[in-house]
Amino acid sequence: MSSERLYFRQLLSGRDYAVGDPIATQMRNFAYLIGDRETGDCVVVDPAYAAADLADIAEGDGLRLTGVLATHHHPDHVGGSMMGFTLRGVRELLEKTSVPVHVNNQELSWVANVTGIAPSELTGHEHGDKITVGAFDIELLHTPGHTPGSQCFLFDGRLIAGDTLFVDGCGRTDFPGGDSDEMFRSLRYLAGLKSDPVVYPGHWYSQEPSAALSHIKDNNYVMRPQTLDQWQMLMPG
């Protein structure tokens, strides 16, 4: 299928949306739009801060939002309240447009608790499920560690990795629900992907905003441990 048909945008908080929001600027979150230019369908990944801005960007490009994909439940990715702060996000987006919100089943209750969205309004998935956006399939990969239901999205030679894998480093595991050993297993799973997708992370914490998985495997220190013992020596606790 022609790559020209695929609509894909990587958008930086504080620069491309939520402009002028100091928290959005400081956190350097990425949100993503994935769509089919021919059908006009589009999903948004991790809308937070000014989710309506993301819907407006898609609509300005001639597409309509048909769903939300959430990598995990933290408010800087989906909005809501946690650890004493509150951010706008998916809940406000649903007030603008009623679309399915796709989360991993292990994350369903966490997303509901943080955002205040009823569990019945969330669509839970298992590892390997696929959702369709126009003519494109997006595969949902369960990659726990940063949170119990963290998930990555694989499609058309791209991997949106949320806070599981950055170009440099990986997500923290010391927040509620985090698990360092699970993070190791998730990273080894991603390292074993047969293709060499371009990795698009949940934050811009590196010089480049994305990189091929092969580059990350060669250069990111969190990909070096081959055994759990090696990982535990690198990441004690």
pLDDT in tens, 117-140: 999 999 999 999 999 999 999 999
Neighbouring residues of 37: CB distance < 8 A, sequence distance ≥ 6: 4, 5, 6, 7, 62, 63
> Contact at 8 Å (CB) between 163 and 152?
no
Predicted confidence at residue 96, as pLDDT, reads 86
Structure tokens at 209: 């905003």
pLDDT in tens, 168-202: 999 999 999 999 999 999 999 999 998 999 999 99
* pLDDT tens for each residue of 35-57: 999 999 999 999 999 999 999 99
Percent helix, strand, coil in the chain, to 5, is 30, 30, 40
Identify the pLDDT of residue 48. Answer: 96
Residue 81 binned pLDDT confidence (cut-offs 50, 70, 90)? confident
Task: Return the DSSP state at 221.
Answer: G
Q: Which of 150, 152, 130, 132 is nearest to 141 (CA)?
A: 152
Backbone phi and psi for residue 17, each to the nearest 5 degrees, phi listed first: -150, 165
pLDDT of residue 217: 97
Catalogue all structural domains in the chain, each as residue range(s) with its CATH number. Answer: 6-234 (3.60.15.10)
**Residue 90 predicted with pLDDT over 60:** yes
Listed in sequence order, the residues at least 6 apart from 218 whose beta carbon sits closer than 8 Å to its beta carbon are: none
The chain-wide mean pLDDT, for the chain, equals 95
